[in-house]
Homo-oligomer: A and B are copies of this chain.
Amino acid sequence: MAALRAAGAANALRPSVAAGSVASSRSFSSAGAVRKAAQPFHKDEPQAPVLKTKSIPGPESTRYIDDLNKSFETRSVNMMVDYTKSVGNYVADPDGNLLLDVYAQIASIPVGYNNAALAEVAQSPEMVCAIINRPALGNFPSHTWASLLKTGVLKVAPKGLDNVYTAMAGSDANEIAYKAAFMYRRQLERGGPDAEFTPEELESAMRNEAPGSPQLSILSFKQGFHGRLFGSLSTTRSKPIHKLDIPAFDWPQATFPQCKYPMDQHVEENEKAEQASLDEPIQSEGGDNHAPPSFFRKLRALTKKHNVLLIVDEVQTGVGATGKFWAHDHWNLQDPPDMVTFSKKAQTAGYYYRTKDMRPNKPYRQFNTWMGDPAKALLFRGIINEIERLDLVNHTAKVGDYLYGKIEGLAKQYPDHFRNLRGKGQGTFIAFDNPKRDAFLAKAKTFGINIGGSGTSAVRLRPMLIFQQHHADILVEALEKIVKAL
């Protein structure tokens, strides 16, 4: 993907945050000075977080949560949000608080709240048409669909994977990739695409029994997270609460390398920790577990050797946050993965795949009513254009290095609070462990930061691609205050 314009161009934003309300509030001191050094992508962002209530949720938010709770699950509500007042890297709540958001809707907001370019896309005639005339894509695609794919989803296709099946979200993207892998495998066993199904296969499939419903497996890594529908959940190994009481396929798991961080200081030990299988490039939900590129190159060689398809789950790691468009770009693979799944920051979802012969041998084998959503594909195209316009992947690589260096400094000062710092050279895809992690996350809000965790003890940073150096300074200052207050 080529960068069309250097970073730094101001991105006009709907003026949804009144400067007055910001000025009259508690705010943090460092931002003003830093702002002079960097031109913000979103000019209407506040200079620093704004705190209006002693605790979050404040009284207005609490009222909204109580009302919602009458008919909708609210026990997982982290924060009630006023999206009309959120701006750029800052998330607003109905009490007037404005937090620097380095969680970004679980890593799914790429170019900032109320991004002006996306607002234009959202109001375009194409978008209106896509919303009110949603097609059954497999049966009745729009004549504009091929062109939309070419200028959007496929423009950023991983090297060597220029076909795509679209989907709705990460879970179903993974599941249709799994289905494709099973169909591919059975086709190999059967002797090719022209071999007919046997009567026994046809009949046993209707009873959910082999050979029609074969006992094949997806091998996934321990601690990995790949979604929570029945097939994807069977490959998810993050936490019991994700899996309890749900019937699962008896599929195997492999150990993900238990690397020591920083990885460049533990090369020899980490080399011993390499094993084979299929997985996400960095275990995000499972605790932000990294492995060196050499591991993935060996994994690719091993899967090739055994004729096993390699599916790389880039739902969380894809679309720029690691300082490359796809995290597996860091691996320098000679042979690309067989499939790469995507969603989150793409706002749409699906899997890229290598060649037409990976399509099932007959139509309607990989099929459902909507098969994705052109409206979301339009949005992804807008996001891609914004990433190119502001050169956000390279920008994120640089800001990530800056941020990592600053947190490395904190880790030296507070080694107990910033354990196993990881993500060096991985853009802003940075994490560390904290022994009081849940308290850490809660406390962060009182210092103006919205931040998330992963696994059992990791604090994970998932800022947007428009996170800049002055935001990093605000974040680092807050991180120190948080650990001092723990």
User: Residues of A with Cβ closer than 8 Å to B?
Assistant: 60-61, 64, 67-68, 70-84, 86, 91, 93-94, 105-106, 108-109, 113-115, 118-119, 121-123, 127-136, 138-143, 145-146, 149-150, 154, 162-165, 168-172, 175, 178-179, 182-183, 185-187, 197, 201-203, 205-209, 212-217, 227-232, 234, 237, 240-251, 253, 343-344, 347, 359, 362-370, 375, 379
Contact = CB atoms under 8 A, between A and B. Distances in A.
B129 A83 contact: yes
B118 A205 contact: no
Nearest to A118: B132
Given A175-B230, A241-B365, 10 more contacts: A68-B141, A77-B140, A81-B135, A106-B136, A108-B136, A115-B132, A172-B172, A182-B245, A206-B237, A245-B365
Nearest to A83: B133
A249 to B, nearest CB: 6
A122 B114 contact: no
A105 B134 contact: yes
A234 B208 contact: yes
Contacts of A216: 247
B369 A169 contact: yes
Contacts of A108: 134, 136, 369-370
A197 B241 CA distance: 10
A28 to B, nearest CB: 22
Given A73-B359, A76-B363, A368-B228, A133 B145 contact: no
Nearest to A137: B72
B105 A135 contact: yes
A130 B376 CA distance: 12
Contacts of A343: 369
A369 B106 contact: yes
A368 to B, nearest CB: 5
